[in-house]
Every structure is written in C-alpha cells, then in structure tokens.
Amino acid sequence: MGNNEKKIQEAYQNAREQFGSSGVDTEKAIDCLSRIPISLHCWQGDDVTGFERSSELTGGILATGNYPGKARNADELRADIEKAFSLIPGKHRVNLHAIYAEAPRRVERNELSQEHFSRWIDWAKSHGYGLDFNPTCFSHPKSASGFTLTHSDSSIRNFWIEHCIVCRRIGAFMGQSLGTPCVVNIWIPDGYKDTPADRKSPRDRLRDSLDRILSEKLDRRYILDSVEGKLFGIGTESYVAGSFEFYFGYAVTRKILLCLDTGHFHPTETIADKISSVLQWLDGVLLHISRGIRWDSDHVVVFSDELLAIAQEIVRGEYLPRVKIGLDYFDASINRIAAWVIGMRAVQKALLVALLEPVNLLKEMEYKGDFSGRLALQEHSKNLPYNAVWDYYCLIKGVPPGLSWLEEVRAYERNVLSKRSL
C-alpha cells in the first residue's frame, strides 16, 4: 500500500467514527452509492453533432466553444466514453440520441432500426453498460419550422410520429439485449418566439401524436417511456407546447415517466421540491441534471447547493428505486472528457453526502417540533468529513481520488485527442 493510499484509509477510518456518532453507517452509504447508475449523455463528446453529417444544430440547441479533439465518429466517441468511465467510480449507463446511428448510407429517421445501433449494443454488453435512448426531433429539414409532433401539416407530423415509434422499438430491443430497461425519453422543441394566438391547438396535436406513439404496447421489462417538458428556449421564448404542466398531466394519465430537467424551469426554481410532489402521482421520474446560468445553457454540472438539495430529496424520501438519473449538458469550451468526469463525479458526491446525512436524527427532531435542534444539526453536518469517504470510495473502486484524475485526461489529450483533425 502506497503512502497516499494509507492516508486515505486512515482518514476514512476517522470519518467512519465521526459519522457513526450520529448514527450514520458509512459502509452502508458506500454500498448504496455503488448501486446507483447514472446515465452518461453521449452528446457531450461531440457537441450534439451525431453521425448524419447533414444538418446544423437547430431547435434552440447550441454548443459554445471549439475545444480541439472532439469525437468524429462512433469509435472515437466510444473510446472517449470508456476513458471517462475509467475515471468515474461505479458502473453506469450511456444515453444515446437517434442521430448517433451507424449506417453505411444515410437512413431517414423514420426508417431507423435496431441494426443501426448494433455496434452500440455489442459495445455496451461487452462493458456491462446499460443504454438509454432518445428520438432526435431537431436538427433536421423537417424540423426547420420549429414544429415536429405539433406541426399543423399532418405529413410532417406523421414523419416525427413514425420516428418516435421506431425509436421506442429500438429502445425496447436495447433493453431486452442488455437485460436492463432502456429509458426512452421524448423531448421536442416546438413553440413560438412571440406570443401565439392559439395555445390550444398545438397541445391538442401533441397529445394525439403522443397517444399514437405510445399505442404500441412494449414490454416494460425492456422499455420505460418518458416525456420531457420545458419552460422556454432560444426561439421559443413566449410559448412551448410541451410545458411542465402538459407533460405532468400526460405522464400521470398515461402512467409513464416524467423527465425533470434542471435547466428547463425558471432560473429561481429548483426541482428538489418538485420530486416529492410529482411522485405522489407518478410511479417514477427521470432526472436530466444540467446547470443553467440565467437560462437553459447546459453548463457542466458542479457540486452546488441545488444539486445537493436534489440528492437529499431523493435520499430523504427513499425515492432511489423510483428515480432514474442522467446528465444533459454540452460544453465545447473545455476538454469534453473532463466535462463528463466533473459532472458525473459531482452528482455522485452529492448523492454520497445525502446518503451520509443523519436523516433519522433530523426527522426525529422535526417530528418532535425541535426545529432549533434540526437547524443546529444541519449546520453541524456540513463540517463532517465527506471528502474522506469520497476518496475512500474512489480508492476501493479503482479510480483516481481527489484531482489526480485530471492528469490522466491531459495525458489522453496529448496522446489521442491532439492527433484528431476535423
């Protein structure tokens, strides 16, 4: 055992005693954390480009920056994901969009099939990853107007309905092949830049389109359907057809997952408080964790008060079995692998802190009306040695603790990324 490892072990034993004095079992927390998979979004690795190579980003999506070395094909993207996972403790999932299909020729989105993702499935199976999937209802000539499933032209609307139908079938095949349910999440950019005269009709069409998409009954052992709302976006500042309220009602009545994206609400809102509310009525939710700065700008996730509040709400409410967690951001201004690692590790740290919280004592004080004691314990808990437990968790999972992972990313950049040219 090296000197650094010995220090980590000693620090952990001290931390274990401190947490134990508050009735917290660090071993139990570590075991629980190791069984929480987080879905890594593939689109951080290539700035949401995909492999169609024919359309620019539309639908209010924007990746800022031009950091060198982005993945140019699926093999490079998979290699980059593997590198990121080698620096992230635990076993996780990969979230794909339909534009990451691999085909010898261009295939229209409503004609995609499982064969166009066979290499992704084989790769995931060989590494023990689960896969999640998304229809891509943007960056396409038929989405140029800004409308897809709500389009007033039935031929265009039918194209996107067909696209979502084949994506559900692909997702179900992924889930069956890998032995873990694939979350298939539908998000559309449809909306108006300025105040609409008719808010009702697009939502009528959206409801009917979704009903047609979900009419095919697929085995829930292999697929979990989800819908994702949004408050506004670039080009849809005044009206978004798929709002939170619309999708909440739809998810409740259709008994599917509701996706809560941390960047899709008002900047002063936090989804932490929403979790216990919507889970009164839903079997489960999907979280897309991002970091919006003044708008849905999809910054890299960092350890923040908002992120910790989300993790605490999940743990305090015993919602872990009912919450699917994924990341959703794309920053092209920094090393893309570093962006993955920073975001994933931040979410895991937040979950660990929540798992190490003396929640039983806090609830006991609350039930007794001892709000002074509750606040005092909450403040005291902030000083407990969480980092010692985190470093130990990284150590036993065979990934670099602390900041030592960054040198591996820089070495990968020197040896691999720097040799790529666009």
Active site residues: 187, 228, 230, 261, 264, 288, 296, 298, 328
- Which tokens sit at 191? 């909306």
- Which tokens sit at 282? 């839903």
Half-sphere exposure (Cβ direction) of 356: Cα atoms closer than 13 Å: 30
Rounded to whole angstroms, how far apart are CA atoms 392 and 16?
11
Cα dihedral 10, 311, 300, 387 in deg (nearest 10): -10
CB 82 within 8 A of CB 127: yes
CA end-to-end span of the chain = 44
Rounded to whole angstroms, how far apart are CA atoms 76 and 303?
28
Distance between alpha carbon 162 and the CA centroid of its chain, in Å?
A: 25
Beta-sheet strands, E only, within 255-372:
257-261, 285-289, 323-327
The residue assigned the tokens 């209802």 is 137
CA angle 215, 320, 366 (to 5 degrees): 125
Question: 359: closest CA among 24, 36, 30?
Answer: 24
Rounded to whole angstroms, how far apart are CA atoms 269 and 45?
29
Distance between alpha carbon 304 and the CA centroid of its chain, in Å?
A: 16
Cα–Cα distances in Å, from 113 out to 106, 131, 172, 255? 13, 15, 11, 26
- Which tokens sit at 289? 């964790």
Question: 224: closest CA among 95, 44, 411?
Answer: 95
Give the count of beta carbons closer than 10 Å to the beta carbon of residue 416.
15
Find all residues with CB under 8 Å of 399, minimum gap 6, and list them. 86, 87, 88, 89, 405
